[in-house]
Structure 1
Amino acid sequence: MGQHLRTGRPTRAEAAELERRLREAALEVFSDRGFEGATMEEIARAAGISKRTLYAKYPDKRALFAKVLPWAMSTLNWDAPDLDDVADDLPSALAAIARIAIARVVDPQVARLTRVAMSEAHHFPEFAEAAHSMTWSPRLRSVVDVLERHARAGAIVVDDPELAAEQFLAMVSGFPAMLAVFGLRRDPDDEERHIRHAVTLFHAGLTPR
């Protein structure tokens, strides 16, 4: 007896798989073509679906783009550093956080998404809030936690841990992130030298006189 072919609405798992495939295809097309150069027809073809199916889910290219980019950023999880062995040594803890923060911003996929987001940010102001909550905030929290721990121990003086954490992250990862957008990256030894210099300056500014 031949295999019975199920008809009707897709299962929840099938719908989720379709959505994942669609978003990945859209991300690839937007990354290659930019927002203006991408077309719904090309995205549908890349996803292996009909234009009718695509338009049933997203009424236009803007709606699709606004959904895809924050989704893509949220899938690139922040790998919180393991600070167990260096938690009592503030410079070592800060250097560990800096290395992971830099590794994230120079990741080719992150750099590619950043380029796309920057090029369309004036059309999509909501991206700024999404980028902060999904990429900057986890890093900020890691630094804040370390600073607060050492402030409670009396090792440093910091009036505004969140402001200090933001400034530290800007010191260590701001320029590497800009280089990555242009497809450039420092030599690992040079990057380590920059990290150590930034950590020394930052730590000195917090050490009680």
Structure 2
Amino acid sequence: MYISVVTTTRRGRPTQAEAKKLHQKLRKAAVATFVKHGYDGTSMDAIAKAAGITRRTLYARYPDKRAVFLDVIPWALTRTTEREAAQEIDDVDLRTALVAVGRAGLARAIDPDVVRLKRIAMTESARFPEFAVSAHSMTWSPRHRQVMDLLHRHHEAGAIDVDDPELTAGHFIALVEHLPARLADSGIYRSSEEEERHLQRAVDLFLRGVLRRE
């Protein structure tokens, strides 16, 4: 009599790459769940289900919903999108570079999910003093640094006259994004042609103020 013995190999700990991929998947699922249901309407069960993981796996990474919210909101508002990451602006003229950065920022500022996410974060700010900066400022930070570096580089080359790149970069972002973002926050979305016209005009006005004059 022969007895067939089936052995199973126990899966070891996930690799660093697998763990990172799972974390990104979890974050995206959590953000989508918060956007759809709001903070109060979201549960750990709903997040785990959206991510396609078990409750045990979720709780191994976050002790509660508050911890998830504190992690994913700043990440979602500051992360660089694939479109932004693909931009090559080092070897182009200043206007072309500003238009590229401004176009990506404008698209992000009026993205319905981003608008909704900022609204949720601001609504919950009283419960989350850990948010030392406003949700609106979070969306600016990566782009702010990008514009600062761009202005510094062209100032050093003698093309523009900017004595405070940090402040000037903030003015550029405000000029491009502030009005469209405020309109979107009120549910008003202009046509793509209108937004492009707004962007081009904003860049031209900005350049008039920083270009070096003979």
- Give the TM interval when normalised to the shorter protein: 0.7 to 0.9
Q: Supply the AA of the counterpart residue of 1:25.
A: A
Give the alignment's TM-score, normalised by structure 2. 0.74
Asked whether the equivalents of residues 106 and 177 of structure 2 are also in contact (C-alpha less than 8 Å), the reply is yes
Q: Percent identity?
A: 49
Report the Cα offset of residue 164 of structure 1: 0.6
Instruction: Specify the alignment match of 2:89 in structure 1.
Output: 83
Instruction: Specify the alignment match of 1:94 in structure 2.
Output: 98
Unaligned runs of 5+ in 1: none
Instruction: Specify the alignment match of 2:114 in structure 1.
Output: 110
Q: Supply the AA of the counterpart residue of 1:143.
A: V
Aligned equivalents of 1:147 and 1:119: distance in 2? 34
Of 167, 181, 184, 1:180 maps to: 184
Asked whether the equivalents of residues 74 and 134 of structure 1 are also in contact (C-alpha less than 8 Å), the reply is yes
Q: Supply the AA of the counterpart residue of 1:110.
A: V
- Residue 159 of structure 1: SS of its match in structure 2? coil
Instruction: Specify the alignment match of 1:67 in structure 2.
Output: 71
Asked whether the equivalents of residues 118 and 136 of structure 2 are also in contact (C-alpha less than 8 Å), the reply is no
Give the alignment's TM-score, normalised by structure 1. 0.76
Counterpart mapping for 1:103-182 below 5 A: 103-129=107-133, 135-182=139-186
Asked whether the equivalents of residues 62 and 68 of structure 2 are also in contact (C-alpha less than 8 Å), the reply is yes
Aligned length in residues: 207
Q: How big is the alpha-carbon RMSD for the aligned residues of Structure 1 and Structure 2?
A: 3.4
Of 43, 48, 63, 1:44 maps to: 48
Aligned equivalents of 1:53 and 1:97: distance in 2? 38
Report the Cα offset of residue 162 of structure 1: 1.3
- Residue 11 of structure 1: SS of its match in structure 2? coil
Asked whether the equivalents of residues 58 and 64 of structure 1 are also in contact (C-alpha less than 8 Å), the reply is yes
Report the Cα offset of residue 34 of structure 1: 0.9
Asked whether the equivalents of residues 122 and 135 of structure 2 are also in contact (C-alpha less than 8 Å), the reply is no
Q: Supply the AA of the counterpart residue of 2:117.
A: L
